[in-house]
Amino acid sequence: MKFKGVLVFLLLLLIVLTVNYSQQPINLRVAWWGSQTRHNQTLEVIKLFEKRYPNIKITPEYTSWSDYWTKLNTQAAAGNLPDVIQHDYQYITEWVNRGLLLPLDDFVKDNVINLKDVATNYIKPGIVNSRLYGINLGVNALGLVYDPELFKQAGFPLPKNDWTWEEFKNTVIQIKKKLCIYGVEGFTGQIECFKIWLIENGEWLYSQDGKSIGFSKDTFVKWWKMMLDIENAGAAPDVTVDVSRTGLGVEDQFIVKKKSAMSLAWSNQLIAISKAAGRPLKMVLFPRLDKKSKSGTYLKASMFFSIYSRTRYPKEAAMFIDFFTNNLDAHKIMKAERGVPISSRVQTFLKPYIEASQKEAFAFVRLAEKEGSPTPPPDIPKHAEISNNVIAPIWEQIRYKKIGLEEAYDTLKKEAEKILNR
């Protein structure tokens, strides 16, 4: 009898300890970048999560894109990164190689992160070195947002998805002449636009072995001649205007204020841009080389949620990612602002709740999947260094007209390949 009493006592003690442990207060730091719309939506989802798990409190850390990576790299250097980090396709490989991210495979295996309703193609972008390090938060495609009303005012037909680069160039220049506004913004200095051009020309930023630049001088020069023609005509903001606008949010875009007819955007950004503009906007695929070729527009993971490798609460961080991925009430709030949700169950659920801008974004993603190009490989680990320290400064010199195009290519190739072969 005494033995049984001891067993009962120990069992009760174990239950009490387990209950108390489960109720221990836990604080998770969650970081993301985005517009004010995204901030507001994410904060609402956090409230839902905290209601579901009362012992877990979330400390949100959010900024614009321009400040985000500077802040994160400072935190990484100090060993003080947030537990859950919104991550990007161009940086995730580098961060994995730096040992900053936690593999998520075991959480998926144990169903802490439920990916049973997710197609394999939507999971693959988060895999680095054969391990899963990022959960795709939405499927996106890069394109051009345009204002139908401004095209109508200019007396031009709406852009078609099979338009050519020559048609694009003529359109933006004629809009400038007709309406005295920009034909396009956020475009001429963007490496993402150059990537589209490379895809259409059968080239890429780097060679397959990652040891050299992968694009030819001819392709580079043709691109920049077109970009400079557009800027010189005043049809796009020149470098002085672009520099002055660094760090501004969606609400400050020229298209929002009817000072530009088009703007570069990922499909998920259409929602925030339309909301800021307060009027219906549309999206069109990137121009193509000719009517018979494909657009270089491609599908991409909009962003990921990853977990800091030194987090104190890996399971709880994974629980938050699962909630963000699968909770229907959470998606009712977010309405695909980060891209088309990866869960087929969530996609079906959202159909009655999708507004005009969401429908446009969903339709654009389907169009890009059908008429666009295959998704290119992720950026190599040294891309961020080359982009920041080589490409960006040389492109700025081009736009300030301090260097010729052929010299710019030769310098870029030489300096980039020093880094690639270091």
- Helix, strand, coil % over all residues of the chain, rounded to 5: 50, 15, 35
| Of 307, 331, 327, 318, nearest in space to 112 by CA | 318
HSE-CB of 151 using CA atoms within 13 angstroms: 16
Distance CA 183, CA 185 (A): 7
Fill in the amino acid letter for 18: T
Give the chain's largest Cα–Cα span.
97
CATH topology classification for 143-298 = D-Maltodextrin-Binding Protein; domain 2 (3.40.190)
Region 25-139+300-371: CATH code: 3.40.190.10
* pLDDT at res. 19: 47
Domain boundaries of the chain, sorted by first residue = 25-139+300-371, 143-298
pLDDT in tens, the chain (422 residues): 555 665 555 565 555 444 444 568 999 999 999 988 899 999 999 999 999 999 999 999 999 988 999 999 999 999 999 999 999 988 998 899 999 999 999 999 999 999 999 988 789 889 998 999 999 999 889 999 999 999 999 999 999 999 999 999 999 999 999 999 999 999 988 999 999 999 999 999 999 999 999 999 999 999 999 999 999 999 999 999 887 677 678 889 999 999 999 999 998 889 889 999 999 999 999 999 999 999 999 988 889 999 999 999 999 999 999 999 999 999 999 988 898 899 989 988 998 888 888 888 888 988 998 899 988 877 888 898 999 999 999 999 999 999 999 999 999 999 999 999 98
* pLDDT at res. 5: 61
Does residue 46 sit in helix, strand or coil? helix
| Of 105, 103, 155, 97, nearest in space to 133 by CA | 103
Distance CA 184, CA 169 (A): 10
Same fold, 25-139+300-371 and 143-298: yes
* pLDDT at res. 179: 97
- What is the bridge-based pairing of β-strands 84-87 and 139-146? unpaired
* pLDDT at res. 3: 54
Give the pTM: 0.76
